A = this chain, B = another copy of it.
Amino acid sequence: MDSGAEGLAQVLGLFRTRGSQTRADVIAATGMARSTVNQRLEALLSAGLLCSAGENASTGGRRAERFAFDADAGRLLVADIGASGLRTALCDLGGRVLAERTEEIPVTRGPEPVLKAVDEHFARLPLPRTGPGGGPALRGVAVSVPGPVEFEAGRAVSPPIMLGWDGFDIAGHVRRRYGVTALVDNDVNVMAFGEHRAGPPGVGHLFMLKVGTGVGSGIIADGRILRGAQGAAGDIGHLPARLEEPPSPGAEPALCRCGNVGCVEAYAGGWAFARDLFPGLADEETVNAVPEALRLLRSGDHHAIRLARRSGRILGEAVAGAVSLLNPAVVVVGGQFALTGEHVLTGIREVVYRRSLPLATRSLVIRPAALGKRSGVIGLAQQLADALFAPSGIAELLPRG
Instruction: Using CB atoms and an 8 Å cutoff, list the residues of chain A in contact with chain B.
Output: 1-3, 7, 30-32, 148, 157-158, 160, 203-205, 217, 219, 221-222, 224, 226-236, 238-240, 242, 246, 258, 317, 320-322, 324-329, 355, 357-360, 362-363
Contact = CB atoms under 8 A, between A and B. Distances in A.
A333 to B, nearest CB: 16
A2 B217 CA distance: 39
B31 A233 contact: no
Given A30-B3, A224-B222, A230 B325 contact: no
B238 A357 contact: yes
Given A238-B357, A325-B322, A357-B258, A222 B226 contact: yes
Given A2-B31, A3-B30, A204-B229, A239 B359 contact: no
B230 A362 contact: yes
A224 B219 CA distance: 15
A233 B148 contact: no
Contact of A359 (B31, B158, B227, B236): B158
A325 B239 CA distance: 9
Contact of A327 (B160, B230, B321, B362): B230
A328 B235 CA distance: 12
A165 to B, nearest CB: 13
Given A3-B32, A355-B240, A230 B322 contact: no
15 contacts: A1-B31, A3-B30, A205-B233, A217-B325, A219-B326, A221-B226, A228-B326, A229-B329, A230-B360, A232-B359, A234-B325, A235-B357, A236-B325, A238-B324, A239-B320
A12 to B, nearest CB: 15
B1 A230 contact: no
B229 A328 contact: yes
Contacts of A327: 227-235
Contacts of A355: 240
Given A240-B242, A246-B246, A235 B324 contact: yes
B326 A230 contact: no
Q: Which 9 A-B pairs have the closest CB atoms?
A: A228-B327, A229-B329, A233-B327, A232-B327, A158-B359, A235-B324, A205-B229, A232-B359, A221-B226
A206 to B, nearest CB: 9
